[in-house]
A and B are shown apart, each in its own frame.
Chain A
Amino acid sequence: MTVLKVENLDFKYPTKQILYDVSVTFDKPELVCILGPNGVGKTTIAKTLNKLYIPSAGNVYIDGENVADMSRLDIAKKIAYVPNSVSSAFSMKVLESILLGRAPVSGYSTTEKDLEIVEKVVTLLDLDELCERDISQLSAGQAQRVTIARGLVQDPKVLILDEPTSNLDVRYQMEIMRFLKDYAKEKQIIIIMVCHDLNITAAYADRVILMHQGRIFADGNVQDVLTEENMKTVYRIDTKVVQIDGLTHIVLNPL
């Protein structure tokens, strides 16, 4: 099982420090959701994990190897990153866009194995009907599913997603979260997701990391992290946390 370890991570821009001494370990196949208010450093953590951002201090290790010393290609063979949105100057077919996810592991030509893997993911994410369409014809939600598919075909040990459900309707949000939760177990991979929706997180996350002022404020299971006190401290909102049929629900009190 792959182990991703973050040690004493600091990240700062010239005028502002974003992350302070963040240490966290991911060593189980699970769906981990990173929560917190805007600007708290959720995406920054996600991007330092695969060297998209270079931390000002601290290290990230994957299976004992320091990510800072690894080539981009070697990192991409282990860690996939799904951005919140992708823009392209020229349109391409959905099928081609997903196939690009195989770039780190395949050579110049598209192999039979590439097609097999893409085919499976396309079926899993119900993208069959969209394969021959151009990316520019897709709705924001469809484009987001294509981007997730591209991350999955990379066949990573760690999958990082930056708000992957932000453009999806509630039905697709739930389907994607359910899918990712099962996929982590089935493929024995770590899935780390930056998200905003408290109830979606409560329903599907195996583990929740709550960020506050550039630090990890709480880290654990849903019941331990998503408490009324934590919501009050981190988001400065009043909530009521209730358990219905074993599931945690966060009821928001209007401001």
Chain B
Amino acid sequence: MKKLIQNLSRKITLIVVIILNVGICQISKAQNSIEKETASLNLSYKISNGIKSIKAIVERKINGKFLGVENLKLNLYLTAVKPYDASNSEGLLATISTNADGEATFNFSPDFYKKTAKKHEFNFIVSAISNPLFEDISSEIILNDYVIDLKIAAVDTISSATAKISKYENEVLIPAAEIELKLAIKKTFGLLPFGEEGAVTDENGEVMADIPADVPGNANHSITVVARYVDEENGGVIEVSKDAPWKILPIPNAIPERTLWSTGHNAPIPLVIVTVSLITLIWGIIIYLVSLLIKIKKLGNQKKSK
């Protein structure tokens, strides 16, 4: 029976499999008497080129180590914990589960942006409730709608980037001064900063810096400049990126040569010539010698000639 079930479930389609899965899980003894555990919930926000997202990380401590909590259902609310209210778009916005690292990222629908176009400060609440394994957890985050404007200008051979950061105050966009606004070039694994370290915005909310002229750009003759403000108070990142044409290309990879460390097909020609000719020579002679064995046999079959 066990075999049959295993066999069955292996071949069965996904949907059926999930149902079966539910069945198996329900019988799990672990469910019967669990002392609820506690977990920590950390939130951060990101506004990237105007696109907002909320990231939640849920962790628990096991043997002194923090491990991500997987498959925990998280609810995202705006302003107040209540069902969604279409009239002022408050309440429950979304529900998603954490991944293997205990992370979940909430992205917003175009509809949300449309409805909140006038709103510039958000109070999000994320919570996990009525979970069989964990105590209820909840956390809040304030998202400020900063606006960054990034311009790239080229004078002769020198390109410079100017970024301006502004903040809504009473529905009016005003420049944010004395703010650490970073300029950087986007690279594979991170942002390569340029300009004065720790530079803050002037009274116009602006920082400016020359883009280092010798930085290799992207293969498609461009460079991606990023202006970024880290809102440490509320735990968020606001950034804007912009592509600019760029002359310096990445250093191309060397064309594979025929070397001793190449694949067998790319062996150095002299080596191939030497080995192949030696093998041909020696085995040619060996084949000749084997033909001599055949000759001996033939000679033995001939009648004695006298």
A binds B: no
